[in-house]
């Protein structure tokens, strides 16, 4: 993709990276200056993509920017795939009246980011004035535990479905929380949709499928 963009004189490549690059570093919030520590092949591939984007800027003058997304959710996610996001799976359970599957104790936390916030960030990144090939976090900027998310979904659906706690999975990240300072400074990014409103919008979409 980068080769094709270079050869076609594309104005800019916006690369979709991931917060998984940080791994399980205990410091919160995650800042872009932290040393990456990927814990899965997926995370390694995202980190490698960032480096490719940076090198293509340095060698060929291709304008690139890498956005580390934090747990994007919203309509149209498929809850049945192996790589489905936790919100898609949880909403599917809520609508079917089934227990929520949780790998671990449910106290692991995520900086869940409604998809329209990410769309806004991509549009800003495509049009911003950039001096180099920056990398930055894109998230909501707050975190919630899986147990808290279950509580929110039960409240939105007027239910009291339990969690089904399962053994932890290898390569999982315990806590995820983004610093948005760099994205605010470079892009003027500010998330508009909070977690509860994002859950409500997503739930309404799945109800109407």
* Neighbouring-strand partners of residue 138: 69
Give the catalytic positions in this structure: 42
Q: What's the token pair of residue 185?
A: 């400074």
* Neighbouring-strand partners of residue 165: 102
């Amino acid at each position: 993709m980068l080769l094709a963009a270079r050869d076609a004189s594309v104005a800019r490549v916006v690369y979709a990276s991931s917060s998984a690059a940080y791994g399980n570093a205990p410091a919160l919030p995650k800042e872009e200056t932290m040393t990456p520590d990927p814990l899965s092949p997926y995370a390694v591939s995202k980190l490698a993509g960032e480096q490719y984007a940076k090198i293509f800027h340095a060698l060929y003058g291709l304008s690139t920017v890498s956005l580390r997304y934090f747990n994007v959710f919203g309509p149209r996610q498929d809850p049945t795939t192996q790589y489905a996001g936790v919100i898609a799976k949880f909403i599917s359970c809520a609508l079917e009246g089934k227990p929520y599957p949780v790998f671990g104790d449910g106290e692991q936390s995520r900086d869940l980011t409604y998809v329209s916030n990410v769309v806004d960030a991509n549009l800003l990144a495509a049009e911003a004035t950039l001096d180099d090939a920056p990398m930055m976090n894109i998230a909501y900027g707050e975190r919630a535990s899986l147990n808290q998310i279950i509580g929110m979904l039960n409240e939105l659906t007027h239910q009291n479905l339990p969690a089904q706690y399962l053994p932890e999975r290898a390569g999982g990240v315990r806590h995820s929380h983004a610093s948005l300072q760099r994205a605010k400074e470079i892009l003027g990014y500010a998330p508009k949709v909070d977690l509860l409103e994002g859950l409500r919008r997503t739930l309404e979409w799945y109800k109407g499928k």
